[in-house]
Amino acid sequence: MELSPIPPRRPLVWPLLIERLAKAAADPSALYLVGGAVRDALLGIATHDVDLATAGDGLSHARQLANALDGVYYPIDPERHTGRALIPDSDGVTVVDVASFRGNDLLTDLAGRDFTINAMAVPLSQPMLVIDPLGGQIDLLDAKLLRQCSPSSIASDPIRALRAVRLALQFRLRMEPATREAARSAASLLADAAGHLFQPERVRDELFKMLSGRQPLAAVRLLNALGLLRAIWPGTFPQPEALAAGMRVAERLADLITIISPRRDDNVAADLMLGVAVMVLDRHRRQLQDHLATEIGQGRPRAALLLLGALTPRDWWPAPPWAEHLRLSNAEKRVLSGLQETRRLSYLPVGWVDDRQAHRYYLTLGESGLDGVLLALAEYLAQEEPSPDPETWGNLLDRVASPLLDAYFRRHQQVVAPPPLITGDDLARSLGLAPGPQIGYLLDRLLEEQAAGTIRTKKEALRLAKRLLGSTDL
């Protein structure tokens, strides 16, 4: 296997930071750019994560780079001599990890990696040349093939089976038959006999990268075809009919997320149902984008959580099992719980929403109510496949989704959370009430009427409170 640096099959496109690293390194000839950074440079993809490998001590090299470039250093794996430097640049911060070779030399290090497309190296001192002993360039650019570095690459680290699915879809690669079979065989190595994942955090991270990608449901279907979805599913795996129904809902939700996202293209209008949805959702597109892009867990956007919840059958409460299984945060658990609650409070059967109903909806659900709007639309489309009724669909968009979104984004202080006209102390003084649940009940009712527009002044609020007090035994 050849380790001499050679001209790449395509020019390598590096961020400006690479030149800064080469100038700042005490000995750039001792450092090699490796892994995904080289792959992305060949494809002209910008990266904010850089991996370096060295025959020396990765900890000391990382510390030296951090000091030279006014960055922050910390050891991430002292046993394997791997350090991290967080380097400030024009786009924010780039993560630079420096690791000692896995093995005695660069060849051993590259051969021990997962797939050939990630087993290329570039000398930091010669950033326009590539070292490619396993043929990663041909696999990536010509053969469009995902291939293990060795027959045991996936078996030695079963999480690589999940990564194989992600990379194959991300870069439009065909899995080599031996790689596909290795991924299928790894399913039994991901969890113990009781179904507990051996490495839940790594499974979580790979799964959420797929759900955050451009083809989330294609990833889920490929996981299922390889037996990997069953391996990472918490508890009892759904029956085929229930899983298929969940996939249909998640697929339609992914369509809605796409038409909201910045990557929407004109082809969306070719789908009549989605084209109609564009006209309604575009009124709040920027706010919905921000809502869906919010990271609830580190590197895990809300949109990915919603797809996970939508994939889960309706009668299967998703929050506790998924949260425990994947080590999700409490905030993520609340989002999943809220999503399931929206199914109980959906206005889909009612067919219309007024300000009073919108106030009640968000009073119970808060921000999760926005998730519920998108889920209700997705569930309708999935339920009515392949031919939803245009009139019913238009009514759902205009009389349910639109007023709920408008209330939250444009009339929040009027409908969702109006400033109270009256306080509990006002009620206690004017009506002679003692502190307790009776006052809370009255305040909630007054806010609801205020949102509905039936009261507008403190005087009207007090008058209504007296009437309510006379009609209830609270």
Q: Give the model's pLDDT for residue 267.
A: 67
Task: Please give the average per-residue pLDDT across 299-326, as a whole number.
Answer: 87
Strand stretches in 35-178, DSSP E: 49-54, 72-77, 82-89, 92-100, 121-123, 145-146, 174-175
Q: Which has more confidence, 315 or 68?
A: 68
Mean pLDDT of the chain: 92
Task: Please give the average per-residue pLDDT across 64-73, as a whole number.
Answer: 95
Taking the C-alpha atoms of residue 77 and residue 79, their distance in angstroms, rounded to an integer, is: 5
Q: Give the model's pLDDT for residue 115.
A: 98
- Over residues 151-189, the pLDDT tens digits come to 999 999 999 999 999 999 999 999 999 999 999 999 999
Cβ atoms 254, 219 nearer than 8 A: no
Q: Give the model's pLDDT for residue 1.
A: 63
Could you tell me whether strands 300-301 and 31-34 are parallel, antiparallel, or unpaired per DSSP bridges?
unpaired
Task: Please give the average per-residue pLDDT across 291-310, as a whole number.
Answer: 94
Q: Is the confidence at residue 333, as pLDDT, over 60?
A: yes
**Which of the four pLDDT bands, split at 50, 70 and 90, describes residue 318?**
low
Q: Give the model's pLDDT for residue 313.
A: 82
DSSP state, 415?
A: I
Task: Please give the average per-residue pLDDT across 137-148, as a whole number.
Answer: 97
Same fold, 16-143 and 144-232: no
Q: Give the model's pLDDT for residue 266.
A: 67
What 3-state DSSP class applies to 191?
A: strand
Taking the C-alpha atoms of residue 83 and residue 62, their distance in angstroms, rounded to an integer, is: 5
What 3-state DSSP class applies to 122?
A: strand
Task: Please give the average per-residue pLDDT across 120-145, as a whole number.
Answer: 97
Whole-number Cα distances in Å, 234 to 155, 217, 359: 22, 18, 35
Domain ranges of the chain: 16-143, 144-232, 239-415, 424-470
Q: Which has more confidence, 422 or 147?
A: 147
Q: Is the confidence at residue 265, as pLDDT, over 90?
A: no
Task: Please give the average per-residue pLDDT across 206-224, as a whole number.
Answer: 96
Tell me the percentage of the chain whose pLDDT exceeds 70: 97
Q: Is the confidence at residue 268, as pLDDT, over 80?
A: no
What 3-state DSSP class applies to 6?
A: strand
144-232, CATH topology level: Hydrophobic Seed Protein (1.10.110)
Architecture of domain 16-143: 2-Layer Sandwich (3.30)
